[in-house]
Structure 1
Amino acid sequence: MLGKIFCVVGLAGILPLGCLAQLSEGTKVGINTGTGLDAPKSGVFWTSPAEQSGVVGDFYIDSLWHDGDVKLMKPVAQIGGHESDSIAGISIRYNVLNEELEVLADKAKKDIRVIRGSQIKSFTIRHELGDVRYLNLASNDPKGESKGFGAVLASGRVTLVKVYKPKITRPNYNPSFGTGEKNTVVRLSTAYYLLSGSGVQKVNLNKKSLLPLLADRKPEMDRYLKEHDPDFKDETQAASLIQYYNSK
């Protein structure tokens, strides 16, 4: 429930994310009714998820609700007058098709709110096997042209992310023969990107694509390849290569 923890991290950096007391019941009601943040309709927490009539398929990276934290692009006013760019301890899931982070404001009432993807710098989903952090590609692109959120596989001087994007198939129903699909079908596809100080670069998990981008540390990379002989098609092994690069 959204009323778990609402944290302000701007207090001289003293308090860690998730450290403040629970919200008051009044603040919970404010959030559940879309007024929990004093933001315009183009901002955050103001509406329910957009409905997609006639659209079927996969919309979510994970359709289950998980606890998580959110880092906004900029601080927004909260009830009480202070501002914060962070929200912690909420139940979330990311809708890839709508580019919205859905927030389970009230499970009993099935009340779901959304934060527009354009308002989010990053979010973290907490799993039993480990946390997964997602970065907004646009916030790492000097031109702001890149879209989507990437799950961080390796981070440091360069960051390897796995981005989920919707692959849309339009209706192709033929009434004369009664064949085809009446609905728009959505399936998720993935792509990999390297984020660095110079921007966002789409890559393939193979030597030809990755190694030229790591050429400034060629001796170290050659040594790693000789010792480990990684399978570049395996994202875990590709991520280990990037982590090694970042450690040198």
Structure 2
Amino acid sequence: MKKKHITGYLLALIISSSAAFAQVSDGTKVGINSGRGLNALKSDVFWTSPTEAPNVIGDFYIDSLWQEGKVKFTSIVPQLGGWNSDSLAGIQMRYNTLNDELEVLADKSKNDIRVIRGSQLKNFTINAGTDPVMYVNAAAFKSDKPLKGFARMVADGNLSLVEYFYPKITKPNYNPGFNTGEKNTVVRQGSDYYVISNGTAEKASLSKKGILAFMKEKQKDVEAYVKEKNINFKNEYDVVQLFKFYNGLK
């Protein structure tokens, strides 16, 4: 995709709900409707930059590489020119778990990065490899401990499996007397699996006991399948096949 298209529709992407929207040409309106976005000046729109995190080091991203994908907003977002849309595709992005922000690369040559706050997104999809990978807003799930951030959809159905990502934060432990320890806050990526049923998320381990506990209603069929297919519960692919089998049972 050409740079002018990337820069154009990204400016329309990160907008304030209270902003007044400028009028644009008919040609630009066609761009909105077709998903190619906007050719608008920076002064025409509101946008936000990534949140600064001074004295914080480590790994902030699920994947630090820029990947092409699409986003779906939690609600319809007014676009410039009067068009409304709840989604946008063909953008370069990466998710920052520490700040709960989806960073969007507007202009690579200028290192121009904008963000969409996690609270504004229902999900986003990365076009990685042969199969798109969807990340859903974990705040939508009911759970004992409220979840904030996004979870990768591993297996989708009446009974779903997701991998929830979160930042693991280590506070500074520098000892000036001995000149030892870390002066900065250190961030690492953590993740847990959750099983989703009727909108409720429960933490689960990838183990036979951990997964089959959620499949008691069809226990005999499931146990027969596990034995026949020699399911390895440490292998995510095998577990996905089991969820597909379970969700396909009447």
Equivalence for 1:195: 196
In the alignment, the residues of structure 1 paired with residue 84 and residue 70 of structure 2 have an alpha-carbon distance, to the nearest angstrom, of 16
Q: Quick one: structure 1 residues 70 and 104, their matched pair in 2 at CA, closer, same or farther if it must change by over 3 Å?
A: same
Residues 25-36 of structure 1 aligned to structure 2 (within 5 Å):
25-26=39-40, 29-30=41-42, 35=45
CA contact (8 A) 1:2 1:89 kept: no
Please tell me whether residue 54 in structure 1 is matched to residue 55 in structure 2.
yes
Q: Structure 1: which 4+ aligned runs deviate by more than 6 Å?
A: 4-7
**1:198-217 paired onto structure 2 within 5 Å:** 198-217=199-218
Matches for 1:65-76 after TM superposition, within 5 Å: 65-76=66-77
Alignment partner of 1:23 is 2:31: no
Counterpart of 1:105 in structure 2 is 106
The aligned residue for residue 127 of structure 2 is: 126
Cα RMSD (Å) of the superposition? 2.4
Whether contact under 8 Å (1:2, 1:103) holds in the other structure is no
- Alpha-carbon deviations, 1:159-186, whole Å to 9, x = none? 1111111111111111111111111111
Cα pair 2:70 2:125 within 8 Å, conserved: yes
Q: CA deviation at 1:119?
A: 1.1
Higher helix share: 2
1:94 corresponds in structure 2 to 95
Equivalent-residue separation in structure 1 for 2:99 and 2:203 (angstroms):
22
Displacement of 1:208 after TM fit? 2.1
Alignment gaps of 5+ in structure 2: 1-5, 14-31
Give 3-state SS (helix, strand or coil) of 2:99's partner: coil
Write the mapping of 1:99-248 to structure 2, written as runs, cut at 5 A: 99-141=100-142, 145-248=146-249
Cα deviation for residue 190 of structure 1 reads: 1.1
Which residue type is aligned with residue 35 of structure 1? V
What is the distance in 2 between the residues matched to 1:113 and 1:244? 41
**For the residues of structure 2 that align with 1:200 and 1:34, how far apart are their CA atoms?**
41
Give the drift of 1:214: 1.0
The count of residues paired between Structure 1 and Structure 2 equals: 225
Q: Secondary structure at the match of 1:237?
A: helix
CA contact (8 A) 1:57 1:187 kept: yes
Provide the TM-score with structure 1 as the length reference.
0.83
Kept after mapping to 1: 8 A contact 2:35/2:88 = no
Q: Which residue of 2 aligns with 1:39?
A: none
Contact 1:146 1:200 in 2 (8 A): no
Q: What is the TM-score with the length of structure 2 in the denominator? A: 0.82
- CA offset at residue 142 of structure 1? 8.2
**Partners of 1:144 and 1:58 in 2: how far apart?**
24
| Shift, 1:34, TM fit | 8.1
In structure 1, stretches of 5+ residues that fail to align are: 8-17, 37-45
Amino acid at match of 2:160: T
Q: Output the CA distance in 2 between the equivalents of 1:4 and 1:79.
A: 10
Deviates more, 1:59-68 or 1:101-110: 101-110
Q: Is the 8 A contact 1:56 1:183 kept in 2?
A: yes
Q: 1:171–1:181: 8 Å Cα contact kept in structure 2?
A: yes
State percent identity of aligned pairs: 46
Decide whether aligned partners of structure 1 residues 143 and 188 sit closer, same or farther in structure 2, where only a CA change above 3 A counts.
closer
Indicate conservation of the 8 Å contact 2:62/2:97, yes or no: yes
Q: Is the 8 A contact 2:33 2:83 kept in 1?
A: no
Is contact 1:2–1:90 with CA below 8 Å preserved after alignment? Answer: no
Moved more, 227-236 or 62-71: 227-236
